[in-house]
Amino acid sequence: MLKFLAFAGMILLAPLYFKGGYLMNVLVFVGIHTMLAIGLNLLLGYAGQISLGHAGFFGLGAYLSGVLTATYGWNPWLAMPLAALMVGALAFAIGFPILKLKGHYLAMATLGMGIIIYIVFNETVELTGGPSGLSGIPNLAVGSLTFDSDVKNYYLIWSFTLVTILLTLNLANSRVGRALRAVHDSEVAARVMGVNARLLKVQIFALSALISSIAGSLYAHTMTFVSPASFGFNFSVELLTMVVIGGLGSIYGSFLGAALLTLLPEFLRAAQDYDIIIYGGLLMLMVMFMPGGLVRGVPDLFRKLLKKGGANHA
């Protein structure tokens, strides 16, 4: 809890240090990406089930919110939970057949699902605007306070993200979290111990889709514009990279991975086209040399270095 309070404090005070400016806008994205990475991490890191289609759920949230508010004039605060429930229900329904699959097959099936969703965004032109996108999505507002600047959005997004972190930390340390880890280590053993592994996997898949959908709605309302290009296969891979780099099964690791991968391209502006190579290289190097991600890998590295140092002294 102390860790969380310190983290929350750091996040809430960060704008004082950065004083607005362009970086605030990037930090808003760090928040959205953190939510998405946490959603995927619940599935991948805790339950051990891969998904290469999470960009699809993110996109569904964004488009449902976007279409309901921009085209049908709904209240955004009503559209967001409705979108989340719909996406969660969809994931719950798909979850039963899809999570029967394991390993590589699950990866391919979720990938296929993501691509189908992406194609639907592109082809239902009269609803989504097709490849040219959907514009005119309103900002979120509370009373007379409209979230239309980077600083306001920063607090809006990060309050959602912090709540997500708190809830998922809670979940991870609860009975459900332990059951998930048991499924991860050995599904058979977990079932023998009375865990309904199948239902649990589907539930966590739905929850993770629901979180992605909320992140999508927030994205739509902060950007006020969405287009299919943001929700393709590459973004699913980017999310996967965030989770793997940060560390599977670590909530703060997801923040670390999201922050790193969101900030990195900003610092590599000159290397615009190279970022994809860097993702690919990072993914491979992390899996090969630091399979635990940064959260576990870096402390391990220090320990090893210290040990070596100690050995030399003796």
Question: In the complex, which residues of this chain contact another protein (CB under 8 A)?
Answer: 44, 48, 50, 52, 97-98, 100-105, 107-109, 111-113, 115-116, 119-120, 122-123, 233, 237, 240, 244, 273-274, 276-277, 279-284, 287-288, 291
H or E segment to which residue 134 belongs: strand 134-135
Q: Considering beta carbons, is residue 120 or 151 the nearer one to another protein?
A: 120
Q: How many helices (H) and strands (E) does the chain have?
A: 14, 4
Q: Considering beta carbons, is residue 120 or 166 the nearer one to another protein?
A: 120
Measure the CA–CA gap between 155 and 149, rounded to whole angstroms.
Answer: 10
Q: Kindly report the CA angle at 143 between 221 and 145, in degrees rounded to 5?
A: 60
H or E segment to which residue 51 belongs: none
Q: Name the residue among 97, 83, 276, 274 with its Cα closest to residue 202.
A: 97
Min dist. Cβ of residue 272 to another protein (A): 11
Min dist. Cβ of residue 109 to another protein (A): 5
Q: Considering beta carbons, is residue 31 or 59 the nearer one to another protein?
A: 59
Min dist. Cβ of residue 289 to another protein (A): 8
Measure the CA–CA gap between 196 and 190, rounded to whole angstroms.
Answer: 8
Q: Considering beta carbons, is residue 77 or 274 the nearer one to another protein?
A: 274
Min dist. Cβ of residue 232 to another protein (A): 10
Q: Considering beta carbons, is residue 55 or 220 the nearer one to another protein?
A: 55
Q: Considering beta carbons, is residue 101 or 166 the nearer one to another protein?
A: 101
Q: Which two tokens stand for residue 218?
A: 């927030």
H or E segment to which residue 191 belongs: helix 187-192
Min dist. Cβ of residue 30 to another protein (A): 22
Which residue's structure tokens are 């053993």?
189
Query: In this structure, are residues 58 and 235 in contact, taking their beta carbons and an 8 Å threshold?
Result: yes
Min dist. Cβ of residue 274 to another protein (A): 7
Would the CA dihedral through 39, 43, 44, 49 be positive or negative?
Answer: negative
